[in-house]
Amino acid sequence: MKILEIKNLHASIDGKEILRGIDMTVNAGEVHAIMGPNGAGKSTLSNVLAGREGYEITQGEIFYKGESLLDLEPEERAQRGVFLAFQYPVEIPGVSNIYLLKAALNAVRKYQGLEEVDAMDFLTLVRKKMELVKMDEQFLHRSVNEGFSGGEKKRNEILQMAVLEPTLAILDETDSGLDIDALRIVSEGVNALRAEDRSIVMITHYQRLLDYIVPDVVHVLSEGRIVKSGDKDLAKELEKSGYSWIKEQPASEP
Ligand code: ADP
Ligand code: MG
Ligand code: MG
Protein backbone atom coordinates (compact mmCIF):
# COMPACT_ATOMS: atom_id res chain seq x y z
CA MET A 1 0.00 0.00 0.00
CA LYS A 2 1.27 3.45 -0.94
CA ILE A 3 1.54 5.73 2.07
CA LEU A 4 3.36 8.68 0.53
CA GLU A 5 3.46 9.57 -3.11
CA ILE A 6 5.34 12.63 -4.30
CA LYS A 7 4.82 13.50 -7.95
CA ASN A 8 6.90 16.01 -9.87
CA LEU A 9 7.13 18.31 -6.87
CA HIS A 10 8.49 21.78 -7.51
CA ALA A 11 8.75 24.28 -4.66
CA SER A 12 10.14 27.79 -4.41
CA ILE A 13 11.16 30.17 -1.66
CA ASP A 14 10.88 33.87 -2.49
CA GLY A 15 10.65 33.04 -6.18
CA LYS A 16 13.77 30.87 -6.10
CA GLU A 17 13.13 27.29 -7.13
CA ILE A 18 14.56 24.88 -4.54
CA LEU A 19 12.77 21.61 -5.31
CA ARG A 20 12.93 20.91 -9.02
CA GLY A 21 10.80 17.87 -9.73
CA ILE A 22 10.79 15.26 -6.98
CA ASP A 23 9.23 11.86 -7.53
CA MET A 24 9.13 9.34 -4.74
CA THR A 25 6.83 6.63 -3.41
CA VAL A 26 6.98 5.18 0.07
CA ASN A 27 5.00 2.03 0.78
CA ALA A 28 3.65 0.87 4.12
CA GLY A 29 6.35 -0.56 6.37
CA GLU A 30 9.26 0.89 4.41
CA VAL A 31 12.11 3.01 5.70
CA HIS A 32 13.54 5.42 3.14
CA ALA A 33 16.65 7.51 3.61
CA ILE A 34 17.14 10.79 1.78
CA MET A 35 20.76 11.81 1.64
CA GLY A 36 22.46 14.69 -0.02
CA PRO A 37 24.92 17.53 0.32
CA ASN A 38 24.19 20.68 2.28
CA GLY A 39 21.77 22.93 0.47
CA ALA A 40 20.33 20.13 -1.68
CA GLY A 41 16.80 20.87 -0.48
CA LYS A 42 16.37 18.14 2.13
CA SER A 43 14.93 20.39 4.83
CA THR A 44 12.85 22.20 2.23
CA LEU A 45 11.26 18.88 1.32
CA SER A 46 10.50 18.05 4.95
CA ASN A 47 9.09 21.53 5.56
CA VAL A 48 6.84 21.24 2.50
CA LEU A 49 5.64 17.85 3.75
CA ALA A 50 4.90 19.44 7.11
CA GLY A 51 2.99 22.30 5.50
CA ARG A 52 5.22 25.01 6.89
CA GLU A 53 4.63 28.54 5.65
CA GLY A 54 6.90 30.32 3.22
CA TYR A 55 7.03 27.74 0.45
CA GLU A 56 5.28 28.02 -2.88
CA ILE A 57 4.38 24.78 -4.59
CA THR A 58 4.62 25.66 -8.26
CA GLN A 59 4.06 22.19 -9.72
CA GLY A 60 3.29 18.66 -8.70
CA GLU A 61 1.38 16.84 -6.01
CA ILE A 62 1.80 14.97 -2.75
CA PHE A 63 -0.54 12.18 -1.73
CA TYR A 64 -0.77 10.67 1.72
CA LYS A 65 -2.79 7.46 1.73
CA GLY A 66 -4.34 8.66 -1.53
CA GLU A 67 -5.44 12.02 -0.11
CA SER A 68 -3.91 15.29 -1.31
CA LEU A 69 -1.57 16.38 1.47
CA LEU A 70 -1.12 19.89 0.11
CA ASP A 71 -4.82 20.63 0.70
CA LEU A 72 -4.45 19.93 4.41
CA GLU A 73 -3.35 22.30 7.17
CA PRO A 74 -0.33 21.20 9.24
CA GLU A 75 -2.62 20.23 12.16
CA GLU A 76 -4.81 18.17 9.85
CA ARG A 77 -1.74 16.34 8.59
CA ALA A 78 -0.69 15.56 12.15
CA GLN A 79 -4.18 14.33 13.08
CA ARG A 80 -4.09 11.93 10.17
CA GLY A 81 -0.90 10.36 11.37
CA VAL A 82 1.88 12.36 9.72
CA PHE A 83 4.73 13.10 12.10
CA LEU A 84 7.50 15.57 11.42
CA ALA A 85 10.67 15.94 13.44
CA PHE A 86 12.60 19.03 12.49
CA GLN A 87 16.29 19.61 12.05
CA TYR A 88 16.01 22.44 14.58
CA PRO A 89 13.39 21.49 17.18
CA VAL A 90 11.44 24.43 18.56
CA GLU A 91 11.54 25.43 22.19
CA ILE A 92 8.19 26.27 23.74
CA PRO A 93 8.72 28.16 27.00
CA GLY A 94 5.85 27.84 29.45
CA VAL A 95 4.42 24.68 27.91
CA SER A 96 5.39 21.50 29.67
CA ASN A 97 6.52 18.54 27.66
CA ILE A 98 3.84 16.28 29.11
CA TYR A 99 1.13 18.82 28.32
CA LEU A 100 2.21 19.03 24.68
CA LEU A 101 2.47 15.25 24.30
CA LYS A 102 -0.98 14.74 25.76
CA ALA A 103 -2.55 17.49 23.65
CA ALA A 104 -0.96 16.08 20.49
CA LEU A 105 -2.16 12.58 21.29
CA ASN A 106 -5.67 13.81 22.07
CA ALA A 107 -5.81 15.69 18.75
CA VAL A 108 -5.10 12.42 16.93
CA ARG A 109 -7.59 10.53 19.10
CA LYS A 110 -10.27 13.13 18.44
CA TYR A 111 -9.82 12.69 14.70
CA GLN A 112 -10.12 8.92 15.21
CA GLY A 113 -13.35 9.45 17.14
CA LEU A 114 -11.80 8.38 20.44
CA GLU A 115 -12.21 9.98 23.86
CA GLU A 116 -9.47 12.02 25.49
CA VAL A 117 -6.89 9.83 27.14
CA ASP A 118 -7.27 9.42 30.89
CA ALA A 119 -4.53 11.28 32.83
CA MET A 120 -3.32 8.19 34.70
CA ASP A 121 -3.39 6.00 31.60
CA PHE A 122 -1.40 8.65 29.79
CA LEU A 123 1.26 8.74 32.48
CA THR A 124 1.62 4.96 32.30
CA LEU A 125 1.88 5.13 28.52
CA VAL A 126 4.39 7.95 28.42
CA ARG A 127 6.59 6.31 31.08
CA LYS A 128 6.76 3.16 29.00
CA LYS A 129 7.69 5.16 25.91
CA MET A 130 10.36 7.07 27.82
CA GLU A 131 12.17 3.83 28.56
CA LEU A 132 12.56 3.39 24.85
CA VAL A 133 14.69 6.52 24.57
CA LYS A 134 16.11 6.29 28.09
CA MET A 135 14.75 9.67 29.13
CA ASP A 136 14.39 10.68 32.71
CA GLU A 137 10.92 11.58 33.95
CA GLN A 138 11.99 15.12 34.87
CA PHE A 139 11.86 15.96 31.16
CA LEU A 140 8.08 15.56 31.24
CA HIS A 141 7.68 18.54 33.49
CA ARG A 142 10.13 20.87 31.83
CA SER A 143 9.15 23.31 29.10
CA VAL A 144 9.27 21.74 25.67
CA ASN A 145 12.90 21.56 24.54
CA GLU A 146 13.87 24.58 26.65
CA GLY A 147 17.44 24.14 27.80
CA PHE A 148 17.54 20.62 26.36
CA SER A 149 20.87 19.62 24.88
CA GLY A 150 21.00 18.67 21.19
CA GLY A 151 20.84 14.99 22.09
CA GLU A 152 17.96 15.49 24.53
CA LYS A 153 15.95 17.33 21.88
CA LYS A 154 16.44 14.49 19.45
CA ARG A 155 15.43 11.91 22.03
CA ASN A 156 12.41 14.03 22.83
CA GLU A 157 11.41 13.86 19.17
CA ILE A 158 11.58 10.11 19.19
CA LEU A 159 9.51 10.15 22.39
CA GLN A 160 6.89 12.28 20.60
CA MET A 161 6.89 9.82 17.74
CA ALA A 162 6.57 6.86 20.11
CA VAL A 163 3.58 8.42 21.85
CA LEU A 164 1.80 9.44 18.65
CA GLU A 165 2.45 6.17 16.77
CA PRO A 166 2.25 7.87 13.36
CA THR A 167 1.58 6.17 10.04
CA LEU A 168 4.25 8.30 8.36
CA ALA A 169 7.22 9.77 10.18
CA ILE A 170 9.66 12.18 8.60
CA LEU A 171 12.85 12.70 10.54
CA ASP A 172 15.08 15.55 9.41
CA GLU A 173 18.71 15.18 10.56
CA THR A 174 17.77 13.25 13.65
CA ASP A 175 21.42 12.36 13.90
CA SER A 176 22.87 15.85 13.82
CA GLY A 177 24.70 16.83 16.97
CA LEU A 178 24.46 13.39 18.53
CA ASP A 179 27.39 11.69 20.18
CA ILE A 180 27.73 7.99 19.57
CA ASP A 181 25.74 6.91 22.66
CA ALA A 182 22.85 9.25 21.89
CA LEU A 183 22.93 8.12 18.28
CA ARG A 184 22.58 4.53 19.42
CA ILE A 185 19.70 5.34 21.74
CA VAL A 186 17.85 7.36 19.11
CA SER A 187 18.43 4.63 16.53
CA GLU A 188 17.17 1.91 18.87
CA GLY A 189 14.09 4.03 19.47
CA VAL A 190 13.44 4.40 15.75
CA ASN A 191 14.08 0.72 15.11
CA ALA A 192 11.64 -0.24 17.85
CA LEU A 193 9.04 1.85 16.05
CA ARG A 194 9.50 0.15 12.70
CA ALA A 195 6.25 -1.60 11.85
CA GLU A 196 4.31 -3.07 8.94
CA ASP A 197 1.86 -0.20 9.07
CA ARG A 198 4.37 2.60 9.60
CA SER A 199 6.58 4.29 7.04
CA ILE A 200 9.65 6.30 7.94
CA VAL A 201 11.54 8.83 5.86
CA MET A 202 14.92 9.68 7.33
CA ILE A 203 16.75 12.69 6.07
CA THR A 204 20.44 12.71 6.77
CA HIS A 205 23.66 14.21 5.56
CA TYR A 206 25.81 11.47 7.06
CA GLN A 207 25.94 7.78 6.36
CA ARG A 208 26.65 6.73 9.95
CA LEU A 209 22.98 6.88 11.03
CA LEU A 210 22.29 4.23 8.41
CA ASP A 211 24.67 1.82 10.15
CA TYR A 212 22.10 1.74 12.93
CA ILE A 213 18.85 2.20 11.05
CA VAL A 214 19.13 0.15 7.89
CA PRO A 215 16.88 1.63 5.22
CA ASP A 216 14.96 -0.27 2.55
CA VAL A 217 15.54 2.46 0.00
CA VAL A 218 18.15 5.24 -0.25
CA HIS A 219 17.63 8.36 -2.36
CA VAL A 220 20.25 10.94 -3.19
CA LEU A 221 18.96 14.47 -3.41
CA SER A 222 21.05 17.03 -5.21
CA GLU A 223 20.08 20.50 -6.34
CA GLY A 224 16.41 19.83 -5.72
CA ARG A 225 16.16 16.54 -7.55
CA ILE A 226 16.54 12.88 -6.70
CA VAL A 227 19.52 11.96 -8.83
CA LYS A 228 19.87 8.36 -7.71
CA SER A 229 17.91 5.75 -5.75
CA GLY A 230 19.05 2.36 -4.58
CA ASP A 231 19.28 0.07 -1.59
CA LYS A 232 21.41 0.43 1.54
CA ASP A 233 24.60 -0.13 -0.47
CA LEU A 234 24.11 3.24 -2.15
CA ALA A 235 24.68 4.87 1.25
CA LYS A 236 27.94 2.91 1.65
CA GLU A 237 29.02 4.03 -1.78
CA LEU A 238 28.36 7.64 -0.81
CA GLU A 239 30.39 7.24 2.34
CA LYS A 240 33.36 6.11 0.31
CA SER A 241 33.16 8.56 -2.54
CA GLY A 242 31.40 11.54 -0.95
CA TYR A 243 28.93 13.69 -2.81
CA SER A 244 31.29 15.18 -5.37
CA TRP A 245 30.49 12.56 -8.05
CA ILE A 246 26.84 13.61 -8.01
CA LYS A 247 27.61 16.90 -9.64
CA GLU A 248 29.20 15.10 -12.54
CA GLN A 249 26.05 13.10 -13.17
CA PRO A 250 23.28 14.62 -15.22
CA ALA A 251 20.13 14.87 -13.11
CA SER A 252 17.52 12.47 -14.42
CA GLU A 253 14.69 14.35 -16.11
CA PRO A 254 11.30 13.85 -14.47
P1 ADP B 1 19.48 20.96 3.07
O2 ADP B 1 18.50 20.66 4.15
O3 ADP B 1 19.57 19.88 2.05
O4 ADP B 1 20.81 21.36 3.58
P5 ADP B 1 17.75 23.25 2.57
O6 ADP B 1 16.44 22.69 2.16
O7 ADP B 1 17.88 23.73 3.96
O8 ADP B 1 18.90 22.20 2.23
O9 ADP B 1 18.13 24.44 1.59
C10 ADP B 1 18.06 24.31 0.18
C11 ADP B 1 18.34 25.65 -0.47
O12 ADP B 1 17.29 26.56 -0.19
C13 ADP B 1 19.62 26.32 -0.01
O14 ADP B 1 20.22 26.94 -1.12
C15 ADP B 1 19.13 27.35 0.98
O16 ADP B 1 19.99 28.46 1.04
C17 ADP B 1 17.80 27.74 0.39
N18 ADP B 1 16.86 28.17 1.43
C19 ADP B 1 16.38 27.40 2.43
N20 ADP B 1 15.54 28.11 3.21
C21 ADP B 1 15.50 29.35 2.69
C22 ADP B 1 14.81 30.57 3.03
N23 ADP B 1 13.98 30.62 4.08
N24 ADP B 1 15.00 31.63 2.24
C25 ADP B 1 15.82 31.59 1.18
N26 ADP B 1 16.49 30.50 0.79
C27 ADP B 1 16.34 29.39 1.53
MG1 MG C 1 21.52 21.87 5.65
MG1 MG D 1 18.61 20.45 6.21
Measured CA to CA, the distance from residue 129 to residue 126 in angstroms comes to 5
Q: State pLDDT tens for residues 68-111.
A: 999 999 999 999 999 987 766 778 888 899 999 999 999 999 99
Measured CA to CA, the distance from residue 223 to residue 205 in angstroms comes to 14
Q: How many angstroms separate the alpha carbon of residue 93 from the centre of ligand 3?
A: 24
Q: Is the model's pLDDT at 219 over the cut of 70?
A: yes
Tell me the pLDDT band of 237, cut-offs 50, 70 and 90: confident
Q: Candidates 20, 43, 53, 243: which one to mutate for ligand 1, based on the most atoms within 8 Å of Cβ?
A: 43
Tell me the pLDDT band of 153, cut-offs 50, 70 and 90: confident
Q: How many angstroms separate the alpha carbon of residue 42 from the centre of ligand 2?
A: 7
- In ligand 1, the atom with minimum distance to the C-alpha of 54 is 23
Q: Which residues line ligand 1 (CB under 6 A)?
A: 13-14, 18, 36, 38-44, 54
Q: State pLDDT tens for residues 137-149.
A: 999 999 888 988 8
Residue whose C-alpha is closest to residue 49's, from 13, 83, 16 = 83
Q: What are phi and psi of 114, to 5 degrees?
A: -100, 155
The pTM of the full predicted model, rounded to 2 decimals, is 0.91
- In ligand 1, the atom with minimum distance to the C-alpha of 38 is 4
Number of independent structural domains in the chain: 1
Q: Which amino acid is at 95?
A: V
Tell me the pLDDT band of 253, cut-offs 50, 70 and 90: very low
Alpha-helical (H) ranges within 18-118 are 42-50, 74-79, 97-111
Q: Is the model's pLDDT at 248 over the cut of 70?
A: no
Q: Indicate which ligand has the atom closest to the C-alpha of 39.
A: 1
Residue 137 counted as domain residue: yes
Q: Which region holds residue 168: left if phi is over 0, alpha if psi is between -120 and 50, else beta?
A: beta
Q: Which whole number is the average pLDDT over 211-230? A: 95
Q: Which region holds residue 212: left if phi is over 0, alpha if psi is between -120 and 50, else beta?
A: alpha
DSSP one-letter code for 30: -
Residue 253 counted as domain residue: no
Provide the ipTM. Answer: 0.95
Q: Candidates 10, 12, 13, 201: which one to mutate for ligand 1, based on the most atoms within 8 Å of Cβ?
A: 13
- In ligand 1, the atom with minimum distance to the C-alpha of 36 is 3
Tell me the pLDDT band of 254, cut-offs 50, 70 and 90: very low
Q: State pLDDT tens for residues 174-185.
A: 767 788 888 888
CA angle in degrees (0–180, nearest 5) for 204-208-214? 80
Task: Say what the pLDDT of residue 173 is.
Answer: 80
Q: How many angstroms separate the alpha carbon of residue 46 from the centre of ligand 3?
A: 9
Residue 70 counted as domain residue: yes
Which structural domain, as residue segments, surrounds residue 156? 2-248
Q: Which region holds residue 60: left if phi is over 0, alpha if psi is between -120 and 50, else beta?
A: left
Cβ contact 81:167 at 8 Å: yes
Residue 254 counted as domain residue: no
Task: Say what the pLDDT of residue 196 is.
Answer: 96
- In ligand 1, the atom with minimum distance to the C-alpha of 37 is 3
Q: Which residues on neighbouring strands pair with residue 27, listed in sequence order? A: 2
**Three-state secondary structure call for residue 193:** coil
The CATH number covering residue 156 comes to 3.40.50.300
Residue whose C-alpha is closest to residue 22's, from 50, 42, 1 = 42
Residue 22 counted as domain residue: yes
CB burial string 98-132: b at 16+ within 10 A, e below: bebbbebbebbeeeeeeeebeeeebeebbeebbeb
Residue 145 counted as domain residue: yes
